């Protein structure tokens, strides 16, 4: 398996929240995001967020 680069554009407020969460754990933002993505329950939490967004926008 190779590696890829993921580039994100996020607003300043969200980035500050990520920095705060990462700092509390003594981590970089990048490490914090990766750790969050590899959590066992990420897929389930992500799917729930997608479903809520679709409901909000009337897509379902």
Task: Report yes or no: 54 and 43 within 8 Å, Cβ to Cβ.
Answer: no
What would the mean pLDDT of 6-26 be, rounded to a whole number? Answer: 94
pTM exceeds cut of 0.85: no
Residue 25 and residue 17: Cα distance in Å, rounded?
13
According to DSSP, residue 8 is labeled -
Domain ranges of the chain: 29-59
What would the mean pLDDT of 20-39 be, rounded to a whole number? Answer: 91
Q: What is the pLDDT of residues 23-32, one digit of tens each?
A: 999 999 999 9
Six token digits for residue 46: 């992500």
Mean per-residue pLDDT over the chain, rounded:
88
Residue 10 and residue 46: Cα distance in Å, rounded?
17
| Residues making up the chain, counted from first to last | 60
* 3-state DSSP assignment of residue 34: helix
The pLDDT of residue 60 is above 70: no
What would the mean pLDDT of 34-44 be, rounded to a whole number? Answer: 83
């Amino acid at each position: 398996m190779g590696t890829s680069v993921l580039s994100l554009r996020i607003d300043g407020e969200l980035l500050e929240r990520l920095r705060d969460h990462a700092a509390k754990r003594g981590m970089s933002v990048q490490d914090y995001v990766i750790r969050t993505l590899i959590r066992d329950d990420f897929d389930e939490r992500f799917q729930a967020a997608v479903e809520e967004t679709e409901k909000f926008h009337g897509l379902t």
